[in-house]
Chains A and B, each alone.
Chain A
Amino acid sequence: MLKLPVYLDYSATTPVDPRVAEKMIPYLVEKFGNPASRSHAFGWEAEKVVEEAREQVAALVNADPKEIVWTSGATESNNLAIKGAAHFYAGTKGKHIVTVATEHKAVLDTVKELERQGFEATYLEPQPNGLVTVEQFRAALRKDTVVASAMAVNNEIGVIQPIAELGELCRANGTIFHVDAAQATGKMPLDLGVLKVDLMSFSAHKTYGPKGIGALYVRRKPRVRLEAQMHGGGHERGMRSGTLPTHQIVGMGEAFRIAREEMAAENERIRMLRDRLLKGLLDIEETYVNGDLEQRVPHNLNISFNFVEGESLLMAIKDIAVSSGSACTSASLEPSYVLRSLGRSDELAHSSIRFTLGRFTTAEEIDFTIRLLHDKLGKLRELSPLWEMYKDGVDLNTVQWAAH
């Protein structure tokens, strides 16, 4: 039997894998020691598992465990990386930052804060397929560009930015290159032995680990230095003070171990399901995929259903848990800034639904989703004056709207 609602919002968060949860529990009750306690066995035991987890996280991205700094999540990692590097190198390199308009808010708002502090920023507009080009990036880099930041995988449309090429450009330019990989771990191979990436942000809860824990990769060769943003007991070699949450760290380590071992097979299964969903939904008239379909993780499908508003569609399909690019739920009434950056019209941006698949998604759930959308779209389009005009052959771009 199908359990409702069907969860198709794995890019918002994932359930903790039961194997991960099981591994975490002992570190809450019996093995509760503080990993910084050097004087007794409770501390030694905690420190040992924290270091094992550090090895697991490092192994997923082919890094040295000494390059991994624990944080509370990808938002903190992004803040520490961008502010920390910008502040450390501003005096010697300069005060210009390059990023992309479709980054997560944790990057964009961090860069905006640096602008308030006197830094200058360039926000690159991606191509209509959601990707920035190497040429765009090359043109944006300046002699005084201290930090550049680009995400590996976009959270809304799932496209993969060309971080290998961007890293080469940054290295040649003497610019620190930060990559937000929150949506990438377990979804695509990441090899920091090859990638010229200086700083990389990770989150546990997008990869079947617990919420509230993340990490930042800080390259040692060539050495990258950061100004700490959190001061205190000097944990994590002074880069991030605060008592380490042993159970969370154990969870992240186990989650990343599972990701490394199962990623290849899992992604093939998810790609099959995604293709099944895509085929089922593209049968519907006037539907558009947002973002490049090739340079994309298989977990994400973002589709605009023209002439139907996203929030009312979400209401109609409440038997599935998905998210919409229409922010009518907020006071702003603004459609997704990511979709607008791709040059999508406002109505297509307002009509978008993000489906994200994951480890526990089944073919039965996908088939249910396809049927549900076919049913409900028909109903909502019967209600839509835009659909009626479209069917009557009216070009909506020529209509004089009474904007409000």
Chain B
Amino acid sequence: MSYSTKVIDHYENPRNVGSFGKDEEGIATGMVGAPACGDVMKLQLKVGKDGVIEDAKFKTYGCGSAIASSSLVTEWVKGKTLDEALAIKNTQIAAELALPPVKIHCSILAEDAIKAAVADYRRKREEC
């Protein structure tokens, strides 16, 4: 498997790795995938009172393309509103990282992680 230079860059220097503190406010978490399938992504968004994503962090169990897809997404969502973040499509991620066909599922997983995190945020807001 040969990787694009962008995948290798994100893999070797992943952006925004980590988790937010459990007590921090405005945190939404999306966890998608399954260990049995070989990839699990956890995406966390820190959303300001104005509904804009101030910060994002990720942790990913998976191949280099899965790690790169989630790293890229944390960069892209920052400064976006939730609706703008939801507009990010897997095809844009795949194109940016030049993912080969067998790795398209990694970009789909990254898109799903955004959706799951936003859904988590909106659910928590309703509960308040």
Q: Which of A345-404 contact B (CB under 8 A)?
A: 345-347, 350, 382-388, 396, 401-404
Tell me if A99 counts as interface (CB < 8 A to partner B): no
Q: Report A90 CB to chain B, min CB distance, Å.
A: 40
Q: Report A285 CB to chain B, min CB distance, Å.
A: 16
Tell me if A329 counts as interface (CB < 8 A to partner B): yes
Interface string of B87-110 (1 = CB under 8 A from A): 000000000000001100100110
A384 vs B40: C-alpha distance in the bound complex, in angstroms? 8
Q: Which of B58-72 contact A (CB under 8 A)?
A: 59-64, 66-67
Residues of B within 8 A of A388 (CB): 19, 42, 59
Q: Is the CB of B112 within 8 A of A347?
A: no
A312 vs B108: C-alpha distance in the bound complex, in angstroms? 18
Contacts A311-B1, A383-B14, A385-B40: A404 and B105 contacting too (C-beta < 8 A)? yes
Q: Report B121 CB to chain A, min CB distance, Å.
A: 17
Residues of B within 8 A of A385 (CB): 31, 40-42, 59-61
Interface string of B9-26 (1 = CB under 8 A from A): 001001001010000000
Tell me if A335 counts as interface (CB < 8 A to partner B): yes
Contacts A309-B39, A328-B63, A385-B40: A402 and B102 contacting too (C-beta < 8 A)? no
Q: Which of A284-313 contact B (CB under 8 A)?
A: 307-309, 311-312
Interface string of B26-55 (1 = CB under 8 A from A): 000001111111111110000000000000
Q: Is the CB of B34 within 8 A of A402?
A: yes
A137 vs B101: C-alpha distance in the bound complex, in angstroms? 43
Residues of A within 8 A of B31 (CB): 385, 402
- A329: nearest chain-B partner, CB-CB: B1
Q: Is the CB of A384 within 8 A of B59?
A: yes
Contacts A312-B63, A329-B1, A347-B36: A382 and B42 contacting too (C-beta < 8 A)? no
Chain A: how many interface residues by the 8 Å CB criterion?
A: 29
- Summed over the interface, the residue pairs from A and B with CB atoms below 8 Å come to a total of 93
- A308: nearest chain-B partner, CB-CB: B61
Residues of A within 8 A of B102 (CB): 329-331
Tell me if B118 counts as interface (CB < 8 A to partner A): no
Tell me if A29 counts as interface (CB < 8 A to partner B): no
Q: Is the CB of A401 within 8 A of B36?
A: yes
Tell me if A265 counts as interface (CB < 8 A to partner B): no
Q: Is the CB of B61 within 8 A of A309?
A: yes
Q: Is the CB of B37 within 8 A of A333?
A: yes
Name which of A329, A331, A383 has the most chain B CB atoms within 10 A of its CB: A383
Tell me if B3 counts as interface (CB < 8 A to partner A): yes
Q: Is the CB of B36 within 8 A of A384?
A: no
Q: Report B122 CB to chain A, min CB distance, Å.
A: 17
A383 vs B17: C-alpha distance in the bound complex, in angstroms? 7
Q: Is the CB of A311 within 8 A of B61?
A: no
Q: Is the CB of B37 within 8 A of A404?
A: yes
Contacts A346-B35, A347-B36: A402 and B63 contacting too (C-beta < 8 A)? no
Q: Is the CB of A403 within 8 A of B62?
A: no
Q: Is the CB of A315 within 8 A of B64?
A: yes
Contacts A312-B11, A331-B102: A350 and B38 contacting too (C-beta < 8 A)? yes
Tell me if A203 counts as interface (CB < 8 A to partner B): no
Give the A-binding residues of B (Cβ under 8 A): 1, 3, 11, 14, 17, 19, 31-42, 59-64, 66-67, 101-102, 105, 108-109, 112, 116
Give the B-binding residues of A (Cβ under 8 A): 307-309, 311-312, 315, 326, 328-331, 333, 335, 345-347, 350, 382-388, 396, 401-404
